[in-house]
Every structure is written in structure tokens, then in C-alpha cells.
Amino acid sequence: MHYFVYHSGELYCEGVPVRKIVEKYGTPLYIYSGKTIRRHFKIFDSAFEEIPHLTCYSVKANSNLGVLSLLAKEGAGADVVSGGELERALRAGIPPKKIVFSGVGKTVEEIERALKVGILMFNVESAEELYVLGEVAQRLQIKAPFAIRANPDVDPKTHPYISTGLRKNKFGVPEEEVISLYLKAKENPYLQPIGLDTHIGSQLTTISPFIEAVRRLKALWKELEGLGFELSFLDIGGGLGIIYGEEEPPPPEEFSSAIIQELKGLPLTLILEPGRIIVGNAGILVTKVLYTKSNKEKNFVIVDAGMNDLIRPALYQAYHKIVPVLDRGEEEIVADIVGPICESGDFFAKERRIPKVKRGDLLAIMSAGAYGFVMSSNYNTRPRAAEVLVEDDQVFLVRRRETIEDLLRLEEIPEVYKI
């Protein structure tokens, strides 16, 4: 359930008409519902309440400080994949001991910072990374808590670009090499093994790949116990999907029940890294119709948002429902909804049946709360959109709209080229 609903033919976010928000903040505009984020987090987190667990929100899904601060107040931890995301989580008030650091390319500087602030653990993704982690920890005289991210070669049955648990993916350590890495870590007293980790992909709509991955982790866990390792945390990542169109992902209660059943009897704290399921349907991207046109083959609706604002349709051929902000009961047409970017891949929908629109109308691109603004760019020197967060009848600007001056500020013209 989310809090974007129609009242008398007008789309609202919680208690505020979307049209009114746009009148103040313009378009393109990301709008997030605080109630939806809070509701989704509570449902997911409480589904695991019968076992020790830590829900570390996946910051990459939506890293706005307003969103992170809301989740921090709800007790969320954070899964970060960069030094920047670490600083965002800390700035939002998430305690370091609730932060896990994932990602295949951690730099020395990022490792140093994370060690100094005292994060819960590093999810290590290669033998070389483990070596560097130990080297930095020894230099700083700080023990580095870590888990090895096992790649279990499990097919998550999702889009290839968001699959992470297959042997051909860049993520994690091959399952058969995990034990030897833990044994190798014993050579450095500043490496502290405290967990085991995996993450097999994003937007999964069935439970079976999770179960297969968990079973493989259990086998590794028991083998490590037999070798004398005392681990505390089992991190199974995130990836549970949401409804964009016709998908039927399992509800969190069904997911948790299956996972808990698999882990019965193991003395551990489960770490979960949900992202999309918390914020995906908690946000929309509102865009204004600039022009409409037709040729002998197609109708086009040209809007002021582009692939630089929301790249998922161009990158993944992802489906997003698109609805009018004011539903006037117009007849439907079939059209391509496209942006102003000079790329043929700049589209939000192709051959989509939508109500007939005209210049100046507003459209809401639904389910844009995850992997929306965070993946936006300044291609074609386009300032990025503003972001607002709604709580009941209050609207908070949580990121102002960029200006052209913002984009030019970091650039310099060499003296020899100045006219």
C-alpha cells in the first residue's frame, strides 16, 4: 500500500494535491511519501521480529538525507557501497554499529574512514580486498570486523543488469574459495571474522532463489564453525521485488517465514539489506507535457523529464505506470512518452495506452522512489530535479533544484583559451 491516491479525479500525495506541490516546486519533481516509507519499513522489519535481526536499508536505492533521517528515526541501519553513502548515513544519524559496507571497489581512503568511525562490518568481495583491509587495519591498529561475500552461483531470475549472485557476475567470492579466505585471514590478528554474507540480485519476485542461497550459506557457516570460527552475523542481502506493473512478488511475511524456517537453531543475528521494497513505491516523478505530435505511425507525448532524470526505462527497459495528475476522463490514445534528451533511448514508455493529454498537463511516473534520482545525471547539461518529502499535509524540500550555475561552478577555462 502507498499513499498516492486520487480524490475527485486529482492525484494526492498523502494529504496534499500533487498539483499544488508542483505549483511551488516546478517540474521535473520527485515526490516521496513519508507515511509510505515508514509503513513499508515497519512491515518488513516486524516480519522478522521473532529472531535477532538488523534491517540495514540499502542506501543506493534512495540516498536522500530526508529519507535516510526518517529511516534512522525508525531504527534502521544502513548498507553502504561508497564513502559518500557512509557519510550520508552518518549525517542522517544512523549509528556506525548499524552500518555494513558492501561493494567490490572499496578504496583505501574509504576503508580508513569506515574503520575510524567503527562500522559494524565490511562485506569483503575479493582476496585482494581482504589483504588491503588487513593492511589498513594493522596500520591504524584497529581490528577490522568483516564477512566474506559468497557468490553462490544462484540464478535470481531477474534482469541481467541487476543479477549479482551468478558466477559470471563481478560480485563476491566463488563459493568454493570462501573457506580458504577465512583461513587466510587468521594470518593477520587485525582481521576479525564476525559474519558471512551474500546478495544475489535485485527485484526478485520468487522466494526460491533466496532459499537456495541461504542453504548454501548455512553449509558454509557450519563448516566454518567446525573450523573454530565464531561468527555472529548472517547477511542475506536484499532484493525482494515490488509491483511496478503485473509482478506478483511475495509479501514480506511470506518471505520472512521461509527464511526463519531455514535458520532455525542457528545462533546468529540475521542482517537484511532491503532497499527497493522500502522506497520504490514511496516516490513518483512528476513531469509536464511540453508538446504532443503525431506522424503516420506514432503518437508522441514529449515531456520535460528525460532519461537523465529516470534512466530505468532506457537502461533496463523497465516498466513504470504513468498516470495523469488530473484525471479528466479523456479518451485514451496509444503513444510513446519521451523526453527532451538527444538520444533515441530517451523514453519512459513505448506504445502505452494513456488518456489523451495536451501541452501543460502533468503526468506522474509511478514507483520512482528507488533507483530514480540516485541514478540521475546532468547529461545535455540538464540540472537535476528537486526532491520533496510529504508528511500528512506538510511538504518539505529535501533537495533544491540544481541550476545551470551549479553545473558550471566546478569547471575552469584555461587562461590560454579565454576570449
CB 148 within 8 A of CB 181: yes
In a shared domain, residues 27 and 142: no
C-alpha span between 256 and 48 (Å, rounded):
6
CB 68 within 8 A of CB 94: yes
Report the number of distinct structural domains present in the chain.
2
For the chain, the C-alpha Rg in angstroms (whole number) is 23
CA 366 distance to own-chain centroid: 16
Residues β-bridged to residue 397: 388
In a shared domain, residues 102 and 224: yes
CB 299 within 8 A of CB 336: yes
Mean pLDDT is lowest, of 118-127, 139-148, 220-229, 246-255, for 246-255
| Among the listed residues 145, 130, 245, the one whose alpha carbon sits nearest the alpha carbon of residue 183 | 130
Phi-psi map region of 165: left, alpha, beta (phi>0 left; psi -120 to 50 alpha): alpha
The pLDDT confidence band at residue 169, using thresholds 50, 70 and 90, is low
The pLDDT confidence band at residue 406, using thresholds 50, 70 and 90, is very high
In a shared domain, residues 223 and 342: no
Q: What proportion of the chain, given as a percentage, has pLDDT over 90? A: 83
Q: Which H, E and C letters describe 298-333, residue by residue?
A: CEEEEECCCCCCCCHHHHHCCCCCEEECECCCCCEE
Mean pLDDT is lowest, of 229-233, 261-265, 318-322, for 261-265
Flag whether 414 is in a domain: no
Residue that terminates a domain, selected from 244, 276, 308: 276
The pLDDT value recorded for residue 206 is 87
The pLDDT value recorded for residue 166 is 46
* CATH code at position 151: 3.20.20.10
In a shared domain, residues 272 and 291: no
| Among the listed residues 256, 259, 153, the one whose alpha carbon sits nearest the alpha carbon of residue 198 | 153
C-alpha span between 57 and 272 (Å, rounded):
8
* CATH code at position 397: 2.40.37.10
Range of the domain at 331: 4-31+280-408
* Residue 342 annotated among the catalytic residues of the structure: yes
Residue that terminates a domain, selected from 256, 276, 296: 276
Flag whether 413 is in a domain: no
Tell me the pLDDT tens digit for each residue of 306-355: 999 999 999 989 999 999 999 998 899 999 999 999 999 999 999 999 99
Tell me the pLDDT tens digit for each residue of 85-109: 999 999 999 999 999 999 999 999 9
Tell me the pLDDT tens digit for each residue of 140-152: 999 999 999 998 7
Number of Cα atoms under 13 Å in the Cβ half of residue 230 = 0
This prediction's pTM: 0.94
Flag whether 415 is in a domain: no
Average pLDDT of the residues in 250-269: 92
DSSP annotation of 373 reads: G
C-alpha span between 6 and 3 (Å, rounded):
10
Q: Residues comprising the binding site for pyridoxal 5'-phosphate? A: 239, 273-276, 371
In a shared domain, residues 118 and 247: yes
CB 233 within 8 A of CB 266: no
CA 409 distance to own-chain centroid: 29
CA angle centred on 135, ends 222 and 91, rounded to 5°: 85
Residue that terminates a domain, selected from 238, 254, 276: 276
- Asked if the model's pLDDT at residue 161 lies above 80, the reply is no
In a shared domain, residues 197 and 265: yes
DSSP annotation of 249 reads: P
The pLDDT value recorded for residue 331 is 92
The pLDDT confidence band at residue 199, using thresholds 50, 70 and 90, is confident
Flag whether 419 is in a domain: no
| Among the listed residues 155, 156, 224, 222, the one whose alpha carbon sits nearest the alpha carbon of residue 185 | 224
Contacts for 34 with CB less than 8 Å, ≥ 6 apart: 14, 70, 389, 390, 391
Q: Which of 1, 342, 413, 416 is catalytic?
A: 342
The pLDDT confidence band at residue 47, using thresholds 50, 70 and 90, is very high
C-alpha span between 104 and 114 (Å, rounded):
15
Residues β-bridged to residue 78: 57, 99
